Amino acid sequence: MRLGLFGDIHGEPEKLEKVLLALQERGVSRSYFICLGDIVGDEIAENPAPTEKCIRMVKHNSTTSVQGNHDELALLAWKGYLSQEAVEFLSAMAPSIQAMDTLVIHD
């Protein structure tokens, strides 16, 4: 069993799609995908659609996600630009997770 770790997406769904595909091509099951945080893009106030798409993709493709500093900032400063579903997902992300024998933290 192999873990598929990915992060620093920053609202770029095309890049995220390539990473997820590369993990699957290398034999990593979606059951072992872990997002390391920073799903939210920097331009969320001007165009929240790419960030919303990335959040849906991560929600659908990873078993768990660590909250990154951009994700936390989005909840503090840009919450009004996000859907309720996106806010709930970002709010539920933990600052750290235990995956098998590994502690995962985004700092």
The pLDDT profile of the chain, 107 residues, written as one tens digit per residue, is 789 999 999 999 999 999 999 999 999 999 899 999 999 999 999 999 999 999 999 999 987 999 999 999 999 999 999 999 999 999 999 999 998 888 999 98
CB 34 within 8 A of CB 68: no
For the entire predicted model, the pTM comes to 0.93
Please provide residue 81's backbone torsions phi and psi, each rounded to the nearest 5 degrees. -90, -10
Phi and psi at residue 97, to the nearest 5°: -140, 155
Q: Which two tokens stand for residue 68?
A: 């990154």
Report helix, strand or coil for 65. Answer: strand
**Rounded CA gap, 54 and 16, in Å?**
7
